[in-house]
Chains A and B, each alone.
Chain A
Amino acid sequence: MSSATPSAPEASAGLLSRVKTIPSVGPVLVLLAFCLVFAVTNPRFLAPHNLSIILQQTIVVGTLAIGQTLVILTAGIDLAVGAICVLGTIVAGKLVNLGYDPMLSMLFAVVLCTLSGLVAGTLVSRLDLPPFIVTLGTLGILTAALRLISQGGAFPVQDSFLGLTGNTFRVGSFVLTYGVLAMLLLYAAAWYLLNETRWGRHVYAIGNNPEAARLVGIPVRRHLLQVYALAGLIYGITAWLALGRIPNADPNALQTANLDSITAVVIGGTSLFGGRGGLVGTLIGALIVGVLRNGLTLAGIDPLWQDLVTGILVILAVAFDQLSRRRR
């Protein structure tokens, strides 16, 4: 084209460097790349019906990943995400099946999940135990306890309130559930908390430099406790969304929730070393995990391969984080 000016490369370099400073560009490109591959290999992938399913399949991991993001931002890690969520589904399901009021049962389950987070947070913040060990222990304890309570087996939960978030509505040719809406609302609320309030700013500060945070008078221990409790609350709410997805309480469910939620957070650009990243990236990361699992299922690939690919993905994302950290 004759209208090309000498300033064109300069302008594009400026644009490129500006684009690079937007933290979620990398994850978006990864998401688009996966979509492209799956769309080319299977025309059904891009059908509104399938895209709606991907969104619905993302609800549980996507919502759990909000709590996981909060914890990882403080330079912690939560290996009990799935277990606490399953605690919520089993307790709520059990109580409703025993004839208790569904709303109160769900509320009680959510409170219990919050308390689990609070206990983990207490151990991390007061006794300075490594989050990795505390939440790994919580995972073991809860998994065993829930299998004991439910005598090892899954049981159906048929209740209109507990299944409420599974109700659908149409947007054009897309079929969405209230669970999808709830997930997006939780993302919006948590984003506001993290980016626009003092509380969120202090989460970043603690993950960045806990000593500096303490010196400027931020109550670091209390803040950590609140982060773990809030994460527990989010896992409890996720239990309700999970019952809307599948009306079944299963002590053996969500076994890949740790892998998936951590992958979503890390591939979304949040650093495992704390203090960097955010929820926009996590949402995209959760969609990447959802797209990957859906695309591989559509291609007729054994679910075990999905775990394998997700495992590779999380290691790649962490390696990338580590390399960019070394450059800093």
Chain B
Amino acid sequence: MSVLAAPEAKAAPVRNVLEARGIVKSYGHVVALDGVDFELRAGEILAVVGDNGAGKSTLIKTLTGAVVPDSGEILLDGEPVHFKGPLDARHRGIETVYQDLAVAPALDIPSNLFLGRELLSPGLLGSLFRRLDKRRMRDEAERAMAELKFRLPSIASRVENLSGGQRQGVAVARAAVFARKLVIMDEPTAALGVRETGQVLELIRTIRDRGLPVVLISHNMPNVFDLADRIFIMRLGRRAAVVSPKSHSMADVVAIMTGAVKADGG
């Protein structure tokens, strides 16, 4: 395993890494997703915005395998996939970062980075005695953090001794290290202060610049406009528009989100 997943080649500028077509999901007679099309391009940060109840989280859950859609298809690198659960999506190279800090505070940084995917020693020690290769995990964690330009105190620090931003940085780095296709970030900075949010946003940008596409779900419009290459706007279970932060203002996006302005599909 390389420290960071190999960045996808940037050859074709509009290659879709992840694509969804006509996704429908209803709960009883509440239609959460009403035929949504979605595409994530290689090397971009795509922000997904929408009012509460617009279907953002249901859409993201179908993409991470947490929810199986009633109809519609999902294509990963052009290939149809049917995720039966979050682990399925992970095995296909999709990592998710959550709002609440998904770290084990009493464990150190390498243990958290490799949590659930610990490396074992080579040879019999690993295969028979199931021995952890702590040294290699520490070295690789150090290398990954250096590559992501994310500054931390000693790599041996327990995560509980880190600031909130640094903790979330560890969770984001974990996703970046193991994602082969894309990273989905669900409100990754919602629990953080202003300065700490800045650290994490910088990290997300670095990940994008290394070639890994990112889906960013956020309520924070300034952050969205700061980071996103494109903005996917949802309203009432449908795709209202996909706009560029260069051609549209925050006011425009909010207007489309709330239905004050009709946008033509995007």
Chain A interface (Cβ < 8 Å from any Cβ of B): 192, 196-199, 201-202, 204-205, 208-209, 211-213, 215-218, 275-276, 328
Contact indicator A198/B132 (Cβ below 8 Å):
yes
* A215/B132 contact (C-beta < 8 A), A198-B118, A275-B104 known: no
Closest Cβ of chain A: how far from B89's Cβ, in Å? 11
Q: Which of the residues B104, B116, B117, B120 comes within 8 Å of A208, measured between beta carbons?
A: B104
Residues of A within 8 A of B129 (CB): 192, 196-197
Q: Which of A198, A213, A217, A328 lies in contact with B104, CB distance below 8 A? A: A213
Q: Which of B106-149 contact A (CB under 8 A)?
A: 106-107, 111, 115-118, 120, 129-132
For residue B25, CB closer than 8 A to chain A, the reply is no
B interface bracket (residues with beta carbon within 8 Å of A):
20 to 34
Taking CB as reference atom, which chain A residue is nearest B103? Answer: A212
User: Is B230 part of the binding interface, using a Cβ–Cβ cutoff of 8 Å?
Assistant: no
State in angstroms the CA–CA spacing of A212 and B86 once bound together.
14
Chain B residues within 8 Å of A216, by CB: 102, 115-117, 174
Docked-complex contact A208 and B90, CB < 8 angstroms: no
Q: Compute how far the CA of A217 lies from the CA of B178 in the bound complex, rounded to whole angstroms.
A: 13
Q: Is A204 a contact of B116 with CB atoms below 8 Å?
A: no
Asked if B115 and A212 sit within 8 Å, CB to CB, the answer is yes
Q: Given A198-B118, A216-B117, A328-B160 in contact, is the A205-B104 Cβ separation under 8 Å?
A: yes
Known: A204-B107, A208-B105. 11 other contacts (CB 8 A): A196-B132, A198-B118, A199-B130, A201-B111, A202-B116, A205-B115, A205-B116, A209-B103, A212-B103, A213-B115, A218-B116
Q: How far is the CB of A99 from chain B (nearest CB, A)?
A: 40
The docked-state distance in angstroms from the alpha carbon of A201 to that of B131 is: 11
6 A-B contacts, Cβ less than 8 Å apart? A198-B118, A199-B130, A208-B107, A212-B102, A216-B174, A218-B116
Identity of the chain B residue whose Cβ is nearest the Cβ of A209 in the assembled complex: B104
- A-contacting residues, B199-256, CB 8 Å: none
In the complex the two chains form, what is the Cα distance from A208 to B105 in whole Å? 7
User: Bound complex: CA of A165 vs CA of B152, how far in Å?
Assistant: 51
- In the complex formed, the residue of B with least CB distance to A217 is B116
Cα A197 to Cα B120 with chains together (Å): 8
Q: Which residues 171-189 of B have a CB within 8 angstroms of A?
A: 174
Q: In whole angstroms, what is the CA distance A198 to B120 when docked?
A: 8
- In the complex, whether B100 has a CB less than 8 A from a CB of chain A is yes
Measured in the bound complex, the distance between the Cα atoms of B98 and A218 in whole Å is 16
Q: Which residues of B contact A208 (CB under 8 A)?
A: 104-107
Q: Let me know if B104 and A211 touch, CB within 8 A.
A: no
A-B contact count (CB 8 A): 65
Evaluate whether A215 and B104 lie within 8 angstroms (CB atoms) in the complex, with A198-B118, A201-B118 already known.
no
In the complex, chain A residues whose CB is within 8 Å of the CB of B90: 217
> B101: which A residues are within 8 A, CB to CB?
212
A201-B132, A208-B107, A275-B106 as given contacts; A215 in contact with B98, CB under 8 Å: yes
Q: Is B87 an interface residue (CB 8 A)?
A: yes
Which of A198, A205, A276 lies in contact with B130, CB distance below 8 A? A198
Give the nearest-CB partner of B95 in chain A.
A216
Minimum Cβ distance to chain B for residue A243 (Å) = 31
Chain A hits for B174, CB < 8 A = 216
* Residues on the B chain within 8 Å of A198, using CB: 118, 120, 130, 132
Q: Which residues of A contact B118 (CB under 8 A)?
A: 198, 201
In the complex, what residues of A have CB within 8 A of residue B96's CB?
Answer: 215
List A contacts of B102 (CB < 8 A): 209, 211-212, 215-216
Q: Which residue of B lies closest to A276 (CB)?
A: B106
Complex: A208 Cα to B117 Cα, angstroms: 17
Q: Who on chain A is nearest to B102 by CB?
A: A212
Interface mask (B80-97 → A, CB under 8 Å = 1, otherwise 0) = 000000110010000010
Q: Which residue of B lies closest to A193 (CB)?
A: B130
Chain B residues whose CB sits within 8 angstroms of the CB of A215 once the complex forms? 96, 98, 102
Complex CA gap A316/B131 in Å reads: 36
The listed residue (A192, A211, A218, A328) touching B115 by CB distance below 8 A is: A218
Contact of A213 among B106, B116, B132 (CB under 8 A): B116
Interface centre among B87, B107, B117, B120 (most CB of A within 10 A): B107
Closest to A218 in B: B116
Are A204 and B104 in contact (CB-based, < 8 A)? yes
Which B residue sits closest to A271, measured CB to CB?
A: B106
B188 to chain A, nearest CB (A): 13
Instruction: Give B125 Cβ to nearest chain A Cβ, in Å.
Output: 9
Interface residues in B149-170 by Cβ distance below 8 A to A read 160
Which of A202, A217, A276 is most buried by chain B, counting CB atoms within 10 A of its CB?
A217
Assess the B160–A197 pair: CB atoms within 8 A. Answer: no
B104 touches A197 (CB 8 A): no
A276 to B130, CA, bound (A): 22
CB-defined contacts of B131 to chain A, threshold 8 Å: 196-197
